[in-house]
Structures are given as structure tokens and as C-alpha cells.
A and B are shown apart, each in its own frame.
Chain A
Amino acid sequence: MDFSLNQEQEMFRNYVRKYLDDVGQTKVAREFTEGNTSSFQALYAGLAELGCASVNVSEENGGMGLGQLDLVPILEETGRALLPGLYLETNALAVPLLERFGTEEQKAKYLSAIASGEHTFTVAWLEPSGNYKPSNVKLSGTLQDDVLTLNGVKSLVPDVELANSLLVLVRTSEGQGAEGISLVIVDCDDVSLQVQPQKNMDETRLLAEVTFNNVQVSSQQILGTIDHGWDVLQEGLLSFNAALCSSIVGSMEKIVETAVEYANIREQFNQPIGRFQAIKHRLVDMKMDLETARSLAYYANWAIESDAADKVEAVSSARLFATEAFIKVASQSIQIHGGIGFTEEIDCHLYVKRARFYENYLGSTQQYYEQAAVALGW
């Protein structure tokens, strides 16, 4: 038995940590919230140079050919720094989907560009006033002579401005359910999309409403088979959610570290506040949540990598625990910091906002509860 990351993975973590330390950890995220995306772009390129973007791309497509677990250290580290942008969507969703369902042409077109850090993906799923159920996928795709014409509106699309391609859920056949939905890759450079920015509480991630007005793409852009895109996406979401958990673990780790440090230096009533059990025990609860999330996340990623029989319950339960614990831990941290915790000046609030961003991102908490229950055979 060995339930830990291996030496190479830990070594890679150190490179990434050092790189992010050098650029000031959350400094880049803060600049991003002020509308300055150039330092982020430079950072992303730097991370790609380290190999972060190519880790899980297959060797024949220009990557390192490593697995899901090799993403974990990167995700934890970028989670600590609240990295903006589409790393998760690109490397933990688009890459596994392309590797598994992509045509040779699609692989050739996208994977090596992803590996070199030049191409990113975002996801266009929700629609105005809709939810994540298949019945709410209404954006229509009409197929004629190998050309798919898209009409409709997507909402809450993250970071379109940074994306080169969108994974769009499209209704290609009549119906309410999961059948008749296709997953289509839309390249931003090839089409004209109307983008209306939406204000996001988590300003480290941009959101927008995207209107598709007779947008035409080739049917070659369908990922997997037409009308069966829902199942394709669900498969990809397993990798994505396992990865998401690791990113959350990184954020939580940073929060606990910072809060403990503060409790050791801040004095009231002639002693460090960390001596008061009201604070001390809260910190222990936070630590317990962190370590439990980490164990669940490691296992979820391992389950994906080894295609374990219990991967669905492993991933959905990890996601449920991690998203909830992230909110709890980030909120507690503000309380521990007192007045300064309530300000924009220090990072506490950034983590709370990111936690809320992830809570129902690409699937609602309720749905993941149900997914876990079904997977457990209940």
C-alpha cells in the first residue's frame, strides 16, 4: 500500500510552487481582478514552459503522456495561488475528452497546441434562467450538408475572452432528455460570437453571456457521436471533478496555513489568539476538513487514472465534500482574522468567492448527491 504522491510528483510540485512564489502567489489573481490580464498571460506561458500544459497530453500529440495523478501537484499549487483562467477546463476536461473521443483530425488540431500552452478551452453549458439538467439545453444545432448552424444563448460561460475554443452543449435532435444533445467544439477565431460580460462575485474568473446567431461550424467539430454528447461530457466531468477537488485542496491548504500563522502572531488579552480554544478548535476543524478533502481527492484522481470500479462514487463524493468544505473553511478564516478579514486588503475574501464559484460549477450540488447515491446502487 502506498497512498501518497510519488517522488517525481512531489518534485514537480516544488518547481511549480517556486515559480508561483516568484510571481507573488495571489498577486497575479489580484491584478486580474483589476482588469490587467497581461501578467496572467505571461504566468500561463511560464507554467506551460514548466510543462504544466503538456503533462497529460499523450506523447504522440506532443505531450508528456502522464496521467491524472500527475496533474494533482499542479492543481494543488495553482489552487493555492487562485490561478485565474482555464487550466482546469483545458487540461482536466478538454484533454481527456479529446484523447478519448476525438477524431484523429481533432487530436492533431488541438492537442499539441494545448500542450504548448497556446490553446485553451472553456465550456458553454448553462442557458439564461436554466439549470444543468439536460432538458435545459435548448441552443439548437441544425445539420445540413455537413454544416451545423447554431442558434441560441449560453450564460455564465467562463473566461471566453481567454479561450480559443468553446465546448458547447447543443440540441441537435428534438427531445427533452439527454438524447439529442451533442458536444460541439467552436473555435473563437472562426466564428463571430456576441459576448456580453456578466459580473462575477469571484472576479478572478470572468463570466459572459454568449449569443450564437446563425453560427456555422463544420460537423467535423462534433466531439464523439452526434446526439450522444451528454454521455461524452459526463465521462469528461469525472476527470474534471477529480481535478477540481485537487485545486480546491490547494486553496484550502493555503487558507489553513494563513489562518494558523495569523492566530500565532495576533495578540489580544496579552496572548496569541491561537491559545483561545474558540479559535484553536475552529482551526483544527478546518485542518480536519482539509485533510479529509485531500484524501478524497487523491483517491478520486487515482480512481480515474486506474479506471477503478468505484470511480463515480469516488469522484462525486469527493466533489461534494470538497466544494462544501472549501466554503466552510474560507468563511471561518475571515472570522479568525477579525476586522482585517472583512477587508479587500487581504486575500480571505478571494477564497470565499472562489469557493462559491465552484459550488455549483458544471453541475449542481444536488445533482452530485444524486449521482453518488445512484452509483452506490441506492
Chain B
Amino acid sequence: MDFSFTKKEEQFRQELRTWLEANLPDGWLQGEVQLDKESKEYELFLRDWQKKLYEGGWAAIAWPKQYGGRNATLMEEIVYQQEMVRVKAPPLINYVGLHMVAPTLMQIGTEEQKEKYIEKIITGEEVWCQGYSEPNAGSDVAAIQTTAVKDGDRWIINGQKVWTSFGHVADRCFLITRTSRLEKKHKGITVFLLDMHQPGVETRPIVSMDGQKDFNEVYLNDAIAYDAEIIGQVDEGWKVIIALLMHERTGIGGQVFTLEQQFNDLVALAKELNDEDEPLIKNPFIRKTMVDLYTRSRGSLLNYYRNLTKQLKNGHPGAESSMDKLLVSELTKELFAQAISMQGHHGVLWKENALMDRSYWQDNYLYSFGQTIGGGTSEIQKNTIAERILGLPKDMGR
């Protein structure tokens, strides 16, 4: 057992630290950057950050060098996550492109597609979204009804997508469609790399419970895509869907470190809040709750390290990532719920009236409800763990 980082890894950390010090937006660490999340200004700010990361060579460290990455090892990725969380770096506007679409393209795309899209993803020139969910196909992805019909070298696409994160800022969409009705519903699906800037594509914002407009409905009315924009084979898109979902899961690591950071923030809150002239952290009931949360968030971090060790030894990730996702998202929800409770009735004050930390707690509390749904619900993660890890029989209907 050994929890240390090698000298090389520590050097890597130092290099990144130095870069961050010089390149984080002015006032970012001091919490002085306050932009309206819905403004064009914010979008430009995020695009600019993405570009800066690219120019510094920090946009996609896990990618091969030929695509602008650093061929980073798993351990370097950990260091990267830790450091980014430490400075609470701005979010990645092209998260879907960087962590989901591009790795899938490298794995399955044609040379032409790699050439055409990958560089624009890493530079942030083209922001991507993921068009999986539909009103009647959420957990049951294969139930999609959006159709693509062949017309010469073009495909005519009709249907509706929903919950499309970044849809309003995206230039392209990793879109799944039905191209044949075959006996098995996993057959007859085709994936397109859809251009969002065309008349047949309309996005309408959806207001989520935290008041944000981060995701959208996407209406496809005779939208056009070309043969060259198909990834994988016609009717064989299910494999492509799974490949992308696997890459989606590698993002989970960062959540573990974010949780650790958020827990430390919660401790600070419990020390700051007073209960009859004594910090709340001295209250026995709060102490018990906090130790309990400490234990479980430590546990989730250590589980993650143990799974990572397995991955380092086997050379590939296993179904354990579902365990990480389930644990971390559920714990995050509990952590912020606790933060609201701890503030007493004042906990309901939010936005500019929030008493503590500029609505950090309220915003994250509300946002946390999405974390146990997005990227596959907790129930679906449990089905995966039950079937793939425990070897229980498959769920009905699948």
C-alpha cells in the first residue's frame, strides 16, 4: 500500500500550479469574478478560458500528443483534477466535446472525422452537446423516436430531444436517431455529428429548479445531416452510444475531489455559524452528522483510489465507476442538504439575499438534485452494479 505521488508526478503538479497562478482569470481565486450565468459575456468568458487552457497545453491532458494532449498517465490526471478543484477553476464549456465526443471519435471515427472535428474541440472553436434523451426515452435510451431518413447522400432528421446540456451554446450535437425499426430496439440506431447551425434545428431553454437555463429542448424539423457525419455504421449506433457513455464516466474522478473540497467548505460553515454564542461545530448533534459525512466522503475517495489501483493494474476501467458515481452524487446531495439545514430558517434565503457565501450553498443544493439523475439515474447505476458486479439477473424489459 502506498499513497505517495512520484517525483515526476509532483513536478507535474508544480508545473500546473505555476501555470494556473499565471493564467487563472484576474480576481478568480479571490472570488471577485461575478458574471451573470445567462449572459453572452459569461459564454465568451468560458470560451476564452477553454482557449487559454488549450494554448497552455492543459485542455485535454489525457489525449494523445498528436491531438494536442499530453498522453497523461492516470496519476497525472488525478493530480490535474486535484489542482483544478483546489483553485475552483472555471467550468469547461466544451465538457461534452472534450471528455465525451473527442475520445469517442478517436476510438471509432474515420480519419476524415478526426481531422475535421478534434482540433476544433480542443481549441474550443466548436462546442458540442449530447443529444440522447427524448421525452419518451430517458433511462431507456434505446426507446428513442427521433428519425433519420435517407435522401440521396443526405439524411432528413425529425424529432425532439430534451435535457440537452449546453444545447444553447453548442455548435454541434452528438445525436442519436432511429434509422430502422428492427425486432430488437438496440438495432436500427444511427449516430450523427449534427451541425446545430441550420434552420431545421431549434433550441428552447428549459429553466431548471436552480433557476438556470443550462439545458434545452431541441426541435429537429427536417434537419439535415450527411453520410460523412455518421459515426460508426448505419443502424449500428448502439455500440457508439455505449462507447461514449464509457468516456462520460471517466469524468467521475473529478467529482470525488470536488466532494472533498465541498466537505471542507461545509466544515468551515459549521465553524462560522453560531448557535447561542458557540460555533455550530461544537453542537453534539452537528458533530455527529459531520463525522458521519466525513466518514462517508472519505470512504468514497478511498473507494475511488482502490478502483484506480485496479485500473492501473488491469489497464482498463471496470464497472466500478458506477459505484463511484452513485456514491458521490448521493453524498453530494446529502452534503448540501445538511448545509441548508445548518443555516436554520435563513437557509431559504438565496441569490443576492443569501446570508453565507453568495448563494453558494443554495445554488449547489438545488443543483445537486440533477446530479443523481444526469449521466444515468442512481437507480440505473444500481441496476448496473447489481448485474455487472454482483451478477444478479437482468432487469425486466432488457
Contacts and interface: CB of A to CB of B under 8 A. Distances in A.
B192 to A, nearest CB: 34
Query: Size range of the interface on B?
Result: 35 or more
A362 interface: no
B154 to A, nearest CB: 43
Given A298-B306, A320-B295, A280 B382 contact: yes
Contacts of B389: 287
Contact of B309 (A1, A284, A285): A1
Contacts, number: 137
Contacts of A376: 267, 291, 294
A291 interface: yes
Given A1-B308, A4-B309, A373 B287 contact: yes
Given A287-B390, A292-B296, A317-B295, A3 B305 contact: yes
A38 B214 CA distance: 69
A274 B393 contact: yes
A258 interface: no
A369 B392 contact: no
Contact of A280 (B2, B308, B383): B383
Contacts of B267: 376, 378
A340 interface: no
B303 A291 contact: yes
Interface in B307-365: 308-310, 312-313, 323, 326-327
B395 A275 contact: yes
A32 B304 CA distance: 39
A348 to B, nearest CB: 18
Interface string B272-301: 000000000110000110111011101110
B379 A277 contact: yes
B396 interface: yes
A1 B78 CA distance: 11
B302 A283 contact: no
A134 to B, nearest CB: 19
B5 interface: yes
B385 A295 contact: no
Contacts of A320: 291-292, 295
B349 to A, nearest CB: 26
Q: Closest 9 A-B residue pairs measured CB to CB?
A: A295-B302, A292-B299, A317-B295, A274-B392, A3-B305, A284-B382, A373-B287, A275-B393, A280-B386
5 contacts: A2-B2, A3-B309, A275-B395, A277-B395, A284-B326
Given A264-B392, A317-B295, 13 more contacts: A3-B3, A3-B302, A4-B309, A5-B1, A260-B392, A280-B386, A280-B395, A284-B385, A285-B382, A288-B326, A292-B299, A296-B298, A376-B267
